[in-house]
Structure 1
Amino acid sequence: MNTKKHLIALDLDGTLLADNKTILPQTKRTLERAKELGHIVMIATGRPYRSSAMYYAEMELTTPIVNFNGALVHHPLEKNWGVYHEPLHKQTVDDIVEAMSNFRINNILAEVKDDVYLHFEDRKLMDVLSLGNPRLETGDLRQRLHHNPTSLLIHADEEHVPDIRSHLSDVHAEVIEHRRWGAPWHVIEVVKKGLNKAVGLERVANYYGIAQENIIAFGDEDNDLEMIKFAGHGIAMGNGIQELKDTAREVTLSNEDNGIAYYLEKTLNL
């Protein structure tokens, strides 16, 4: 396996990043070694670009990136590569906002690439979202939002999340996909139907001419499921959810134990 060029796709939170949101030195060295040997390293995250750009720069990547769980695929350094942006329809957002009045929620946010719209004023949440200095607006999304958004985030207390997700599946399944963020934020992320990290990963693999069997993907949450299934070597982190571990080809060590480095070093003989 180690004689072929591989595409290595990395989720960020709970995967590439330790719990303190840094890249551990061993993991960073191993990925640098992989790049030196001709392997292609990329990020595939649910985050917007503004809050993943610092890690892209830290690892000195020169590859396309998958943001918003596949709703935005682009190349930060090569504008001619193309921008593949598939947003939700505004009417879908209006329908969901209307429906949420019947549920216990804390807030609803719409993201148009790196612009953020909050349904309710929310200082704590705005502080979290301010990473990357997005343009922030507050007000009823049905009036404030004038563009089709890349994603919609519904923030609720943990006990209310299952009911909200059941509604989204029952009423809006034909037009949306929805995922749940890991703790401590009990957030449901909504994107356009048919989008996931695997869609973006396949686009990048085709660009580089990398066969599916030579794709290595690492993840830890339910938004990584399709990517882990798609990759020839779909690897779940030791700290990952059980459903992902059951799906993955292999389970490596946790994000706190250099799980990416551990797998790549033994698999690619780094």
Structure 2
Amino acid sequence: MDQKLIALDLDGTTLNSESQLSSKTKEVLQKAQEAGHIVALVTGRPNRNSVNYYDELGLKTPMINFNGSLGHIPHHHWDKEYELTFNRKIAFDILHEKENLGIKIIAAEGKDLALADVPNNVLGGYFPTALKSTEVLNQMNLQRDPTSMMLLVDPDKKDNIVHQLESNFGDRITVGVWGGPNPILELSPRGINKTYGVRYLANYFNIDRQNVIAFGDEHNDAEMLTYAGWGVAMKNGTDKIRSLANDVTPLDNAHDGMAYYLEDYLNLA
């Protein structure tokens, strides 16, 4: 079998419903690597809360964070590392209009950047917690262009906020709307999604697009699954994702759906 590049979303795909790596998942991904395939995590998460999974899997490959905006090898210097950003003035403009727009929390992030304008926020899993004065998002502390911004917004004002942001900054950023219960908007460099990172890795490893297999479950996986030679949606994925994928896992992420599918697809059993 040709060498495959296996591009894996984390939440709802590689991780179970407790946001953990199961023993089955770790076993199958280890087998895949031993068989000569390349396993890469491709996540919307920042590196600050995904490197633990990278380490637990014992990976040495590049990792893609921020939905394609950062490609790096954790703990190592990589001369092909990239980080895409947008002008920090956008962050300052949004901070200035925060109350008028109906935004509750603003965070700006990058590979070595994690600032939030509200200390000790209750959504610490998604937003960085500003424990020190130097971690508070303001003009003095934000000295570089961010890779990503996260906004917790008033649910009733979400559509209007999206419209305002796209009207003011749409030529420079993409405004993403998260699924799930929290009304969160994510700002990223214009036109960048997970496919940018997967294509970058495919070129780096000299893997033909047809030998890319990608797994995902949410809207931010759509382009990656379409780009891959074989895009697989999780059983627990959204209707849209399942409709555009080449195949759907018989089992969901709570029952090792990705691991069992990959084991069968690559004849690893």
Q: Please give the TM-score of this superposition, normalised by the length of structure 1.
A: 0.90
User: 1:167 corresponds to which residue?
Assistant: 164
Partner of 1:210: 207
1:65 Cα deviation (Å)? 0.6
Letter in 2 for 1:178: V
Letter of the 1:102 partner, please give it.
N
Runs of at least 4 residues of structure 1 off by over 4 A? Answer: 126-131, 133-136
**Is the Cα–Cα contact under 8 Å of residues 75 and 81 in structure 1 kept in the other structure?**
no
* Equivalent runs, 1:70-89 vs 2, <5 Å: 70-89=68-87
Deviation of the 1:115 alpha carbon: 2.5
- The alignment partner of 1:106 has SS state of strand
| Residue aligning to 2:9 | 11
Gaps of 5+ in 1: none
Structure 2: which amino acid aligns with 1:236? A
d(CA) in 1 for partners of 2:64 and 2:7?
9
Pick aligned residue for 2:178 from 174, 181, 188 = 181
1:226/1:164 Cα in 2 relative to 1: closer, same or farther (>3 Å)?
A: same
User: Residue deviations 1:134-176, cap 9 Å, x none?
Assistant: 996225x344322111111101243433332233333322111
CA contact (8 A) 2:114 2:128 kept: no
SS class of match (1:14): helix
Distance 2:172 2:150 in 1: 16
Q: Once the two structures are superposed, what CA deviation does each residue of 1:36-66 show, in whole Å capped at 9, x if it has no partner?
A: 1111101001111121111111111110010
1:236 and 2:263 equivalent?
A: no
Q: Describe the shift of the 1:154–1:232 C-alpha distance in structure 2 as closer, same or farther (beyond 3 A).
A: same
Q: CA RMSD in A?
A: 2.3
Partner Cα distance (1:20, 1:135) in 2 = 32
Q: 2:24 aligned to 26, 42, 54, which one?
A: 26
- Per-residue Cα deviation, 1:186-213 (whole angstroms, up to 9, x for no partner): 2111111121111111111111111000
In structure 1, give the amino acid aligned to 2:87.
H
SS of equivalent to 1:188: strand
Confirm or deny that 1:91 pairs with 2:89: yes
> Paired residues, what number?
266
Comparing 201-210 and 68-77, the one that deviates more:
68-77
Offset from partner CA, 1:230-264 (integer Å, 9 cap, x none): 11111111111222222211121321121212321
Paired residue secondary structure (1:144):
coil
Change (3 A) 1:227 1:90: same
Aligned 8 A contact 1:179 1:222 in 2: no
Structure 1 contact 46–67 (Cα < 8 Å) conserved: yes
- Equivalent positions of 1:46-85 (< 5 A) are 46-85=44-83
CA distance in 2, matches of 1:62, 1:156: 37
Post-superposition Cα deviations, 1:96-136, rounded to whole Å, max 9, x if no partner, equal: 334443222211111132332222334323476459x9996
Q: 1:149: which partner in 2?
A: 146
Over the matched positions of the two proteins, sequence identity in percent amounts to 38
Whether contact under 8 Å (2:24, 2:259) holds in the other structure is yes
- Name which of structure 1's ranges 60-69 and 80-89 shifts more when overlaid on structure 2: 80-89
Q: Which amino acid is 1:239 matched to?
A: N
Counterpart of 1:193 in structure 2 is 190
Q: SS at 1:125's partner residue?
A: coil
SS, match of residue 177 in structure 1: strand
Structure 1 CA distance for aligned equivalents of residues 106 and 230 of structure 2: 36
Looking at structure 2, the residues matched to 116 and 31 of structure 1 have their Cα atoms a distance apart, in angstroms, of: 30
Structure 2-normalised TM-score?
0.90
